[in-house]
Amino acid sequence: MKSFSPTFPILLFLLAGLMANAQSGGIKLTPIATHYTDRFDQASAEIVAFDAASKRLFFSNAQANYVGILDISKPNAPVLVDSISMAPYGGGVNSVAVFNGKVAVAVESSPKTDPGKVVLFDAQGNFQALYTVGALPDMLTFTPDGTKILTANEGEPSDDYSVDPEGSVSIIDLAAGTVKNVLFTDFNTKAAALRNRGVRLFGKNATVAQDLEPEYLTITANGKKAYVTLQENNAIAIIDIATAKVIDIQALGYKDHLTGTPVMKEFFLNELLNMPELGTPVFKDSLPPVKLSGFSGLFFDRTQSNDSIYVSSRSRSERRSRTHGARGGGR
């Protein structure tokens, strides 16, 4: 599912004094220039990626199906130097990412239910390579070392649901020129267990693999795992990049907004639990003496109808000594 912003200017910000502001507890960004496309509310500047070496910004224009190239060597005067049409590669550009002069673009097919493409260019806009990935690649990113590209392939169904491709994640090995598609077919027999976890499955006669729709992904700093949002399913998938396998699918839970706005209360733990002061003996006449130590963690009390009390210590020590005799089993 694409998300559209209400306006599509590209804002450039002056970062002078960034460190001083960061050390004082805040970062101040001052807009210094704006590049406007000729479209409003039509995803004409949706994703932006920066190449530091060439001092160029690359942005996706889904409405016109091209990637724009802005020269920002003079940040207060950005210049549109070129645009790369994605028409030869598919029906619409969805995402763009940059790593050390490599520009990767995710392009959906027409129809969107067919396998999509990832197109690789250099910072000057010259074609480098073309890869076939899963249906509707909605977002892509490089691994931290720049050796691989991962795409979140949403696999949206057709409007009449006559075709519903499987959602997937593609892993492109740039050195080998190969593509591995991470599938969710191993979870097709686990629909009931996923629903019990809180994963939303709702497609018309769809398998789990068809119903899961990867939207966005991020990669750990060591490049070993990817975390993938399954937006329509209210869940996150965890992927092992080396084996190209789904490790797990975790539901995100829900918030009942009908219950009103949460209210935070602050109180002294001892007053709540009628506990002894820290540092007082726990066992009388014990040798060596055992004293009540610090607390770390959470306390939960469900003693008053449906009301719940949650307690978290604001001051947490590295010491993890046990606390004896605490009501509620707190530590």
What does the pLDDT look like over 42-78, one tens digit per residue? 567 789 999 999 999 999 998 899 999 999 999 999 9
> In the prediction, which pLDDT does 40 show?
60
> In the prediction, which pLDDT does 267 show?
59
pTM of the predicted protein model: 0.73
CA torsion through residues 118, 211, 188, 217, sign: positive
> In the prediction, which pLDDT does 263 show?
72
**One CATH from 3.40.50.720, 2.130.10.10, 1.10.3720.10, 2.30.31.20 for 9-251:** 2.130.10.10
In contact, 230 and 212? CB cutoff 8 Å: yes
Strands (E), 147-297: 148-153, 168-173, 178-182, 214-219, 225-230, 235-240, 245-251
CATH 2.130.10.10 segments of the chain: 9-251
In contact, 39 and 59? CB cutoff 8 Å: no
Strands 235-240 and 245-251: antiparallel
Which residues partner with 9 through β-bridges? Answer: 36
> In the prediction, which pLDDT does 63 show?
86
> In the prediction, which pLDDT does 123 show?
97
> In the prediction, which pLDDT does 321 show?
40
> In the prediction, which pLDDT does 36 show?
81
DSSP 317: -
Alpha-carbon gap, residue 169 to 18, rounded angstroms? 36
Structure tokens at 30: 């001052």
> In the prediction, which pLDDT does 155 show?
97
Alpha-carbon gap, residue 3 to 127, rounded angstroms? 28
> In the prediction, which pLDDT does 327 show?
38
> In the prediction, which pLDDT does 95 show?
96
> In the prediction, which pLDDT does 204 show?
85
Structure tokens at 138: 């909605």
> In the prediction, which pLDDT does 46 show?
84
Strands (E), 100-195: 102-108, 115-122, 127-135, 137-142, 148-153, 168-173, 178-182
Tokens 């490089």, located at residue? 142
Residues of the chain with pLDDT under 50: 1-8, 15-20, 295-305, 308, 310-331
Strand order of the sheet with strand 56-61?
48-51, 56-61, 66-71, 79-85
Structure tokens at 295: 């607390």
> In the prediction, which pLDDT does 33 show?
87
Alpha-carbon gap, residue 8 to 61, rounded angstroms? 10
